[in-house]
Amino acid sequence: MTTTTDTDIEVHDPATGELVGRVRPADAGDVDEAVGRARVARDGWARTPAADRAGLVRDAAGALRGVAEELARLNETETGRPYDDGLGGVLAAAGTMEQYAELGPVHRGRSLLGSWSATDLMVPEPRGVAAVITPWNDPVAVAAGLIGAALVTGNTVVHKPSERCPHLGRRFAELVASFLPEGVLEIVDGAGPTGAALSGHADVDLVAHVGSIAAGRAIRQAAAGTGAHVLLENGGNDPLVVDADVDPRWAAEQAALGSYANGGQVCVSVERIYCAAAIAEPFLDALAEEAARWVYRPSAAGEKALGPLVDRRHREHVHGHVAAAVADGATVHAGGVVPDGDGAFYPATVLSGLTPAMTITREETFGPVAPVRVVEDFAQGLAEAIDDPHGLAATVLTGSMNNAQQAWRELPVGSVKINGVFGGAPGGAAQPRGTSGTGFGYGPELLDEMTTTKVVHWSPLP
């Protein structure tokens, strides 16, 4: 939980409201110095053998495993993320860095079949200085993926973690930097203005941003002036379409998991649900029962941990969507009330009676809310799911092969999940579409984003 004063950013525990600490945001001068150090380190790092770079990243990942519990506790204290989830995030971060350490040295170009006497090559090269600007909702894993991929491909990095978890961000990044030559990984603290100074800096060659659509837009504009390559993994408004032929109780479990995991603060959380009328009643009843199992910590047996939201500012945003929907006629089946007491808690909420015009239908809520619109059938649900400018991900629950096939073909999103809100094979990477961003932020393809390709045509002297 954060409040920004004139000079310092204060971080408060979102469960208790207690002060965790303060950080001083980096100003344009500090950003300039950090970028300058990264630029000085750039050529040396780019010329370091790929296997040596990878070895250092692998060593850093090992050290990260060693402090995973400490970082998970800090994650909980700064953002409210339940400890076990945070621990999973840190271990995933270490795993991702290890994967990039394997993939970096074998990321290669190709030779071309030109004239017999000439040599033609396509060679990947590091882009240069990468600005890595990250959010708070899965802070270590997201930062580790981008930083790991940037480093193994020979870029130097200036990292700005989220102002909502600056102590966690700095602890992680300083640990990784301690394995690297000076200037290869720089860290700047701060909020939007610091991020803006970094993403608009003339000596930054790549800006990788994971976060909100609004910030992504500002970054796109700033980078248009500098020519930096832009990689944006931004917010979504993911639909879940529930067909008439599925078990409504199982569908409700899926809907609850998609809506409530990490307090609904996952980029691919279920944001809007279209349920076929034939099973809507048992589905809504089961969903309200599911909501009752997602409770505040400490969680008891049979209950699933729901932490507080990241801060009260965000809770106002979430409740604003719910209250506006209710004012416009939505029905509350569970939750929907701001609890008394300390912190930024918000209950697992179920709404029905959504309309396409409501803000909660059109925009990302990013909270533990399952908003349901009852539709005539799968076809209507799919049509409404498609009619949205976001393009991150979508899920359909159906026993019909035809409906599943139509859905994955027609949904204009990067990831389509059929019969499971989460999951997927390792290495799966998608490009977000529409307002949700641009470029591969994950998987082996991220290494392509981190590099630029040079073609070499080499003829013999005549």
Amino acid type, 340: D
Query: Token match 């970094």: residue?
Result: 198
Q: Is residue 191 at the binding interface for ligand NAD, with CB under 6 A as the rule?
A: yes
Alpha helices in 22-132 (DSSP H): 28-47, 50-66, 68-79, 83-103
Binding mask 266-285 for ligand NAD (x = CB under 6 A): -x------------------
∠130-415-144 over CA atoms, to 5°? 30
> Does residue 184 touch ligand NAD according to CB under 6 A?
no
Q: Are 349 and 368 in contact (CB under 8 A)?
A: yes
Q: Is 236 in the site for ligand NAD (CB under 6 A)?
A: yes
Write down the least CB distance from residue 233 to ligand NAD, Å: 3
CB of 130 to ligand NAD, least distance (A): 14
Q: Which is nearer to ligand NAD, 261 or 284 (CB)?
A: 261
Q: Is residue 291 a contact point for ligand NAD (CB under 6 A)?
A: no
Q: How far is the CB of 219 from ligand NAD (least distance, A)?
A: 5
Window of 5-13, 84-92, 120-128, 157-165 that interacts with ligand NAD by CB under 6 A: 157-165
Q: Pick from 14, 235, 336, 391 the residue near ligand NAD by CB under 6 A.
A: 235
139 counts as binding ligand NAD under rule CB under 6 A: no
How far apart are alpha carbons 177 and 60 in whole angstroms?
8
Catalytic residue among 233, 271, 364, 384: 233
Please state, in angstroms and rounded to a whole number, the distance separating the CA atoms of residues 129 and 155: 6
Rounded alpha-carbon distances, angstroms, from residue 309 to 21, 72, 164, 172, 318: 18, 16, 12, 22, 9
Beta-carbon count within 10 A of 455 CB: 10
Q: Using an 8 Å Cβ cutoff, are 84 and 309 in contact?
A: no
- Which of 46, 121, 218, 323 lies at the binding interface for ligand NAD (CB under 6 A)? 218
Site for ligand NAD in 385-404 (CB under 6 A): 392
**By CB under 6 A, is residue 211 in contact with ligand NAD?**
yes
* Cα-trace Rg, the chain: 23
- Torsion, Cα 33 36 40 45, to 10 degrees, reads 100
Active site residue 275: no
Question: Under a CB-based contact definition with an 8 Å cutoff, are residues 75 and 69 in contact?
Answer: no
> Does 179 contact ligand NAD by CB under 6 A?
no
Instruction: Give the binding range for ligand NAD (CB under 6 A) out of 4-12, 135-143, 145-153, 330-338.
Output: 135-143
Which of 134, 262, 403, 451 lies at the binding interface for ligand NAD (CB under 6 A)?
Answer: 134
Exposure of 104 by Cβ count < 10 A (0-12 exposed, 13-18 middle, 19+ buried)?
buried
Q: Which stretch binds ligand NAD (CB under 6 A): 59-67, 213-221, 292-300, 327-335?
A: 213-221
Stretch that binds ligand NAD, among 106-114, 203-211, 248-256, 288-296 (CB under 6 A): 203-211
Query: Which residues, other chains included, contact 435 with Cβ-Cβ below 8 Å and sequence gap of 6+?
Result: 213, 234, 235, 389, 390, 391
Instruction: List interacting residues with ligand NAD (CB under 6 A).
Output: 133-138, 142, 160, 162-163, 191-192, 195-196, 199, 209-212, 215, 218-219, 233-236, 267, 364, 366, 392, 432, 437, 441
What residues are labeled active site?
233, 267
